[in-house]
Amino acid sequence: MKTTIMTIIISVLLLSDHVVLGQEGEWTVVTANGDVLVNLAFTNFVNDTLRFSQTGQNFTIPIESIVQLRKIEGKSNFRKGAVIGLVAGGLIGGVVGVATFDSGDSPREIEEAVTVLGSISRGRAGAILGGLGGLIAGGVIGSQFKSERVRVYTFSDDTQTKSVEIRAVLANK
């Protein structure tokens, strides 16, 4: 049972950002005539044009008209919340498990508790159950808070240089 719980916890923590975040980031394009297109998803690069999509609409933007690209990168705090929840839930659950142990329990009640919980004590059972509950609750709460970082790429006026610079930026998306 311990192995199964630990496997679940480790799997959730390792896969957390990929499952919760799910997206690579959003682009904002500023053109030479002052247009600002926001919340674009980069699709591909064809010759000297960039293709973006936004909620079902496709945009084709010539390289020479692009002045600036901004990439908004969001990072989920699921992992941080899950770890905090795991530790807090484990501590609280362990304390509650130990506090609920009544030394006046009859041998039959103790035997039933041991049968239900296996060979672990009430404190350990409380820590495991509290930790698992805290992991889930902390992960859900943490995933609601995202850290955002904006990367701004400004390009030169030379179309040939701009094409190379933009290709380099998009290759590292």
Q: pLDDT tens, 64-90?
A: 888 888 887 777 788 888 999 999 998
What digits encode the pLDDT tens for the residues 23-40? 445 888 888 888 888 888
Domain presence at residue 11:
no
Q: Within a domain: residue 6?
A: no
Q: Are residues 138 and 84 in the same domain?
A: yes
Expressed as residue numbers, the domain containing 97 is 78-144
Query: Measured between alpha carbons, how far is 145 from 76 in angstroms, rounded to an integer?
Result: 7
CB count within 10 Å of CB 143 equals 20
Same domain, 62 and 90: no
| Domain match, 45 and 66 both | yes
Rounded CA separation 125/95 (Å): 10
Kindly state whether residues 132 and 49 are assigned to the same domain: no
Residue 166 lies in a domain: yes
Structure confidence at residue 96 as a pLDDT band (50, 70, 90): confident
* 12, part of any domain: no
Does 27 map to a domain? yes
